[in-house]
């Protein structure tokens, strides 16, 4: 069954009394698009657009109303002054949707040598630094607790290590089977060969196992030895419970509020704790006057899920995913752009320039999910689609982010053919390129 079409947008659904600005920067083509939405009954002659002297912001007003100023994601070049000048004689050719209150302007980024944005864009790798809470973000003083009730889950004094990429085991198996023959005279016996395989890590039997005192960090969670966990209880999985991202795996719950914090991994002999359900203490005190003060932080499901998707793009070269929590309701998403920078403003809100992914999405029903994941013989299906199963709360939060971001976009940017369009904020490190 084909995916259900996106909801039809009513041109009148957007407020008829507000001015709405939206700017998107695509680093790969170094182009910035500015969208302006006005009430349909406002003539273009009442629209006043002014580009700041630094060419990093625009101020736009309707008639004598107070202007709305929005900072652009990057500095644009000098020709943008001419592009933003509305000439009534050429307006119908350059802005065919002006009669509907929709304007769009495409401008190039400034390439001058003294422009800080030039360095930023050169380093804007779409798959660079997208994982929140890596081992380098933690320290021996870091503690973990339940995000919902604050109950302590992991005490301090641990060593934090990043897990290798998801295809590490496959690469090790490949190396074990296809490693080059050593030169003559340097070949050891079978016992020496097996010892080297174990020590150097390329043995086919090697696998990651949880060790007491060490926390292994991956994109979406932490692998912790069960004896190191505090205030948690292990509950056998209920066959009727479809919210578990890994069915048949025992669930790890908070002993205080019973929130599920993760699952037990019998192969790794440890607990996999979900980052979305935890908060972590920072290594630096919140106040210099009080060295004992602890600052707690957490990451939204949006940033964790976006990191999972980016990791799959990096590892599997996939751009289309089926995201669901119970096989009954899901989303088919297409990562159209892994990275862009955007800003948004109106009379009621302002979003500073931030990094995001542009996502095309469709709502899927139970039959569509099953048909795409397990197509019948002879039935065509998407050749490259990856399944991402989430907890129910995380799935609902992610779907809500897509819908909310789509509502912020201009009408002409909310739909692409049969796809709805949304923006998903992704993690970005401050003080370094990420």
Q: pLDDT tens digits, residue range 248-299?
A: 679 999 999 999 999 999 999 999 999 999 999 975 544 555 555 688 999 9
* Residues contacting residue 179 through CB under 8 Å, at least 6 positions apart: 202
Pick from 377, 376, 381, 371: nearest CA to 330: 371
Tell me the whole-structure pTM to 2 decimals. 0.82
Pick from 246, 291, 305: nearest CA to 272: 246
User: Topology of 135-179+207-297 in CATH?
Assistant: 2.170.150
Rounded CA-CA distance 333/313 in Å is: 13
Pick from 345, 344, 411: nearest CA to 100: 411
CA distances from 56 to 12, 81, 109 (A): 31, 12, 10
Q: According to the model, what pLDDT value does residue 101 have?
A: 87
The rounded average pLDDT for each run of 10 residues, N- to C-terminus, in the chain (434 residues) is 42 54 90 92 88 95 90 94 81 77 92 59 64 93 96 96 72 58 55 50 63 95 96 80 64 96 94 97 58 82 96 90 89 94 91 93 89 76 82 96 94 92 88 42
Backbone phi and psi for residue 174, each to the nearest 5 degrees, phi listed first:
-65, -45
The answer to whether residues 251 and 244 touch, using CB atoms and an 8 Å cutoff, is yes
Report the run of H or E that residue 178 belongs to, with start and end. Answer: helix 168-178
Enumerate the domain spans of the chain.
11-127+302-425, 135-179+207-297
């Amino acid at each position: 069954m084909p995916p259900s079409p996106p909801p039809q947008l009513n041109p009148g659904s957007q407020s008829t009394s507000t001015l709405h600005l939206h700017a998107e920067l695509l680093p790969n083509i170094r182009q910035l698009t500015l969208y302006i939405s006005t009430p349909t009954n406002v003539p273009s002659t009442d629209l006043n657009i002014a580009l700041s002297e630094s060419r990093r912001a625009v101020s736009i007003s309707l008639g004598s109303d107070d202007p709305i100023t929005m900072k652009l994601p990057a500095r644009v070049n000098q020709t943008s002054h001419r592009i933003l000048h509305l000439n009534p004689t050429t307006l119908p050719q350059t802005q065919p949707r002006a009669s509907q209150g929709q304007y769009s302007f495409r401008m190039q980024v400034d390439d001058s040598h003294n422009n800080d944005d030039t360095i930023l864009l050169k380093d804007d790798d779409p798959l660079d630094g997208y994982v929140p809470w890596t081992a380098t973000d933690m320290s021996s003083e870091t503690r973990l607790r339940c995000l919902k009730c604050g109950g302590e889950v992991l005490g301090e004094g641990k060593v934090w290590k990043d897990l290798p990429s998801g295809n590490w085991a496959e690469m090790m198996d490949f190396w074990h089977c296809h490693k080059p023959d050593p030169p003559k005279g340097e070949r050891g016996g079978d016992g020496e060969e097996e010892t080297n395989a174990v020590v150097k890590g390329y043995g086919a039997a090697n696998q990651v196992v949880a060790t007491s005192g060490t926390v292994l960090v991956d994109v979406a969670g932490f692998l912790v030895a069960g004896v190191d966990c505090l205030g948690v209880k292990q509950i056998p999985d209920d066959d009727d419970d479809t919210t578990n991202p890994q069915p048949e795996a025992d669930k790890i719950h908070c002993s205080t509020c019973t929130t599920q914090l993760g699952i037990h991994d019998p192969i790794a002999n440890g607990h996999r704790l979900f980052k979305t359900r935890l908060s972590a203490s920072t290594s630096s005190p919140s106040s210099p006057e009080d060295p004992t003060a602890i600052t707690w932080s957490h990451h939204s499901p949006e940033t964790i899920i976006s990191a999972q998707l980016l990791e799959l793009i990096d590892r599997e070269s996939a751009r289309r995913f089926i995201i669901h929590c119970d096989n009954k309701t899901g989303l088919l998403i297409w990562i159209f752009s892994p990275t862009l920078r955007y800003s948004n403003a109106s009379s009621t809100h302002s979003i500073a320039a931030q990094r995001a992914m542009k996502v095309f999405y469709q709502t899927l029903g139970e039959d569509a999910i099953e048909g795409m994941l397990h197509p019948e013989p002879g039935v065509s299906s998407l050749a490259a689609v990856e399944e991402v199963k989430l907890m129910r709360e995380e799935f609902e939060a992610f779907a809500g982010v897509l819908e909310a971001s789509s509502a912020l976009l201009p009408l002409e940017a909310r739909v692409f053919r049969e796809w709805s369009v949304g923006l998903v904020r992704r993690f970005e490190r401050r003080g370094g390129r990420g």
